[in-house]
């Protein structure tokens, strides 16, 4: 954890996939750039074989689109979230969110998917928030 005021970051690693027939270690670095209003998520997967990798970005109710390595979600507040991938194919999927106990509402998910290669496989996502224009 690096609590830098303008670029705080966190790096974590887990070994939960080491019990797979082709083991893999997962390391994630999350870095916020306050001035640029971006969040960079860099995943490094170190598998001994090939694996399908998948990421899910659940969204509050929004209108989402995706094409190739870019996706956009527009919210009722006027805020837009852009997600760009360096290595994964992005798509929009349907899912559910629970705003409170016993309730569920349909929402969109932006999903990323790719096939890993043995060795060190790096995938980066950049999330950027665009505020609505001021009137």
In what helix (H) or strand (E) does residue 122 lie, and over which residues does it extend? strand 121-130
**Cβ neighbours of residue 47 under 8 Å, at least 6 residues apart?**
17, 22, 23, 24, 116, 117, 118, 119, 121
Q: What is the pLDDT along the chain (135 residues), one digit of tens a residue?
A: 888 888 999 999 999 888 888 889 999 999 999 999 899 999 999 988 888 999 999 887 778 999 999 999 998 888 999 999 998 999 999 988 888 999 998 888 999 999 998 899 999 999 999 877 666
Nearest 5°: phi and psi at 25? -110, 140
Round to whole Å and give the CA distance between 42 and 26.
10
Query: Which has the closest alpha carbon to 127: 46, 32, 58?
Result: 32
pLDDT tens by residue, 63-82: 899 999 999 999 888 899 99
pTM of structure: 0.86
- Edge-to-edge strands of the sheet including 52-58? 52-58, 105-115, 89-97
């Amino acid at each position: 954890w690096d609590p830098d005021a303008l670029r705080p970051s966190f790096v974590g690693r887990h070994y939960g996939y080491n019990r797979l027939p082709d083991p893999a270690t997962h390391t994630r670095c999350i870095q916020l750039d306050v001035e640029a209003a971006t969040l960079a998520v860099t995943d490094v997967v170190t598998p001994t074989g090939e694996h399908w990798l998948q990421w899910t970005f659940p969204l509050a109710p929004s209108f989402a689109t995706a094409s190739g390595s870019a996706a956009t979600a527009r919210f009722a507040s006027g805020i837009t979230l852009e997600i760009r991938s360096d290595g994964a194919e992005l798509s929009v999927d349907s899912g559910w969110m629970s705003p409170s106990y016993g309730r569920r509402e349909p929402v969109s998910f932006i999903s990323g998917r790719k096939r890993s290669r043995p060795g060190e496989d790096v995938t980066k996502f950049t999330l950027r928030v665009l505020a609505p224009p001021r009137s």
